[in-house]
Amino acid sequence: MKYGYFDDSKREYVITDPKTPYPWINYLGNHDFYSLISNTAGGYSFFKDAKLRRITRYRYNNIPVDDGGKYFYIKDENTVWSPGWKPVRTPLDKYECRHGLGYTKITGAKDGLEAQITYTVPLGFWGEVQKVILKNTSEKLKKIQLFSFVEWCLWNAQDDQTNFQRNFNTGEVEIDGNVIFHKTEYRERRNHYAFYSVNAEIAGFDTDKESFLGLYNGFDTPDAVLAGKATNSEAHGWSPIASHCLEVTLKPGDEKEYVFILGYVENKEEEKFVAPKVINKSRTNAMIRKFPDGKSVDLALAELQDYWSKLLSVYRLHSDDEKLNRMVNIWNPYQCMITYNFSRSASFFESGIGRGMGFRDSNQDLIGFVHMAPDRAKERIIDIASTQFEDGGAYHQYQPLTKRGNHEIGGNFNDDPLWLILSVSEYIKETGDWAILDVEVPFDNNEQNSASLFEHLKRSFYHVVSNKGAHHLPLIGRADWNDCLNLNCFSTNPDESFQTTENKEGGKAESVFIAGMFVLYGREFVKICRHKGLQEEAGLALQEIESMELAVIAHGWDGEWYLRAYDHFGRKVGTHENKGAQIFIEAQGFCSMAEIGLKKATRKKH
């Protein structure tokens, strides 16, 4: 079944059926403020960190799937519908979702009324802008009610979903004309708040979820919408929301535009209030003034499109294959920039709660976008290296808000350090910026304990040298690239995660995959040493690489392919001797790219 198509001229993917096999989402934002939005307007927003600065609430494993988002409801006489089909799910006369580069346009039509919502995060803007266009395509006068809706998250996404005895008492809002503020804990200990505004007079509002929805209703049947009238509720604790109600009159052929802004504001501690208990709204007002009408939003969209055109113009492929051109010139680089912004920290599968930015992931992501944004690549390299330990190991993840290592996950994933050599070498190849090697970078974000980036690379290299097993192959630690290959982790407690279970004391498992990495990226380290004139350093490193090659040939070759590993008890993993799981792709790929044993014809050359 076909659900949509690519529009290459507009660089958009067009979805024509809202009932996709799973929500098809887009990622909005380019720096600091981010939103995820599905083809039916589900999703959430956050500032820098999906765990620590979650702005709107989202519930995973919902029934039905993807419930909760940035919704608009239309009440047209006795009919209630949503332009994105959800949450109301009233059958539409027309539906279309266009996922573009940094924006999404959703269009719906019902009974002679067409509604289009454009969602985008403008460049350098700490907020999501939503442009709503309503058009009367019928031959009769229409008097409708338009309701907006977002549900506030109480900032820390994990605490928001667990600490109910406290959170049901802390939610705080303020209504100032057509602007609804979410200021939970702003008086007490936060320097930030959020707001949701519209550039029109409102007929009413709601900020209390139960008043808007009804205690036993879902997002599909809100009491206020069904009644065609907001309740003007003011939340005190419980679950604060933001909903505007607009009375709209459209003559046949008439069209009206509205601009909604979901924004985030930070104030310095000494600037939080302009008077006792009166919050400082100067930044809010400036943000609202920036987008007074639809034309200003269109200009921001044009600026955003220019931004992407410049990024995508760095590298262009011209071939006779339309699909290849589309992938290489539009969607693959777009995806690479998205993974730079989000790493694996937030999606519809990663909640943004249990992890931050991956050390391994972020180094890998970097090589896909370094040619488009070298300055941001350099910044990311320094951030990553700053979470490294003195012994060359590293935190497996770090929080993007604080840029500090995630203690809950910890480290000891022994492939992690080598990925830093990869990202730095690729950055230098792309930019020629050898000076980055001399930048002083802290260990574990301790500015009192720092070394040059080159020294960080050296410690990454020798972390492997210092952690070998009985077969002279690298110790795997808690796992390598295959996070589920926990060959040292033994748990008898069903309530703990294998990924966060510490190694069995004296963990002996070895990784052939890391050995392949070491040889492949170790050679890049040697090139860096030679360029710096460190010939002796290069020679010593080369000896370690040759020693690792010999260990792989002696203990990592299974006759026709490479082993994957040795487990804690010295048993082979990924061998023809096994009944199942005889071959693993990671070791084949990296040992082949490293050309281990090529001279002895261990690997077939294709």
Q: Which residues are catalytic?
A: 483
Q: Which residue has the tokens 């089909």?
A: 85
Neighbours of 559 (CB within 10 A): 9
In DSSP terms, 566 is beta-bridged to: 510, 572
Neighbours of 254 (CB within 10 A): 14
**Strand order across the 397-399 sheet:** 357-358, 397-399, 404-405
Outline where DSSP puts E strands in 418-507: 440-443, 446-452
Closest by Cα among 28, 71, 30, 56 to 264: 56
Q: Is the dihedral of CA 244, 249, 253, 255 positive or negative?
A: negative
Phi-psi label, residue 402: left if phi above 0, alpha if psi -120 to 50, beta otherwise: alpha
For residue 295, what are the contacts with CB-CB under 8 A and spacing of at least 6?
A: none
- Residue/partner pairs of 582-587 with CB below 8 Å, 24 or more apart: 584/482, 584/513, 586/480, 586/481, 586/482, 586/513, 587/512, 587/513, 587/516, 587/556, 587/561, 587/562, 587/563
Lookup: tokens for 153: 């998250």
Residues 386, 390, 391, 393, Cα dihedral to 10°: -20
Q: How many residues are listed for the chain in this entry? A: 606
Neighbours of 553 (CB within 10 A): 16
> What's the rounded Cα separation, in Å, for the pair 365 and 498?
25
> What's the rounded Cα separation, in Å, for the pair 131 and 62?
28
Alpha carbons within 13 angstroms on the beta-carbon side of residue 490 total 10
Cβ–Cβ < 8 Å for 477, 507: yes
> What's the rounded Cα separation, in Å, for the pair 129 and 594?
48
Lookup: tokens for 546: 């040759």
> What's the rounded Cα separation, in Å, for the pair 583 and 561?
7
Cβ–Cβ < 8 Å for 454, 437: yes
